[in-house]
Amino acid sequence: MSKPNVELKATSFTLSVLYINHPSIDVVSQELDKKLAQAPQFFLGAPLILNLSAINQSEIDIAELKQCLSDKQLIIVGITDANDALAKQAKNCGLAVVKSGKQAPQPQLPKRDTKIVKQNVRSGQQIYAKDSDLVVFGAVGNGAEVIADGSIHIYGALRGKAMAGAGGDNNSIIIASQLQAELVSIAGQYWLAEHLQQYQIEKRGCVRLSGDTLLVESLPE
Partner 1 sequence: MTQIIVVTSGKGGVGKTTSSAAIATGLALQGHKTVVIDFDIGLRNLDLIMGCERRVVYDFVNVINGEANLNQALIKDKRCSNLYVLPASQTRDKDALTKEGVGKVLDDLAKDFEYIICDSPAGIEQGAMMALYFADVAIVTTNPEVSSVRDSDRILGMLQSRSRRAEQNLEPIKEFLLLTRYSPARAKTGEMLSVEDVEEILAIKLLGVIPESQAVLKASNSGVPVIVDQESDAGLAYSDTVERLLGKDVPLRFIEEEKKGFLKRIFGS
| Sites of contact with partner 1 (CB under 8 A) | 119-125, 138-139, 141-144, 156, 159
Which CB atom, from 51 or from 125, has the smaller least distance to partner 1?
A: 125
Which CB atom, from 157 or from 207, has the smaller least distance to partner 1?
A: 157
Q: CA dihedral defined by 116, 122, 127, 132, rounded to 10 degrees?
A: 30
Which CB atom, from 51 or from 142, has the smaller least distance to partner 1?
A: 142
Distance between start and end Cα atoms, the chain: 43
Residues 6+ apart with CB under 8 A from 120: 138, 139, 140, 141, 156
Which CB atom, from 142 or from 189, has the smaller least distance to partner 1?
A: 142
Which CB atom, from 160 or from 205, has the smaller least distance to partner 1?
A: 160
Which residue type sits at 136?
V
Q: Is 72 left (phi over 0), alpha (psi -120 to 50) or beta?
A: alpha
Name 210's bridge partners.
213
Q: How far apart are CA 198 and CA 220, in angstroms?
A: 19
CA angle 198, 204, 210 (to 5 degrees): 60
Minimum distance, C-beta of residue 84 to partner 1, in the bound complex (Å):
51
Minimum distance, C-beta of residue 147 to partner 1, in the bound complex (Å):
16
Q: How far apart are CA 206 and CA 162, in angstroms?
A: 12
CA angle 61, 63, 65 (to 5 degrees): 70
Minimum distance, C-beta of residue 148 to partner 1, in the bound complex (Å):
19
Minimum distance, C-beta of residue 178 to partner 1, in the bound complex (Å):
10
Which CB atom, from 136 or from 186, has the smaller least distance to partner 1?
A: 136
The secondary structure element, H or E, covering residue 68 is helix 62-71
Minimum distance, C-beta of residue 140 to partner 1, in the bound complex (Å):
10
Minimum distance, C-beta of residue 139 to partner 1, in the bound complex (Å):
6
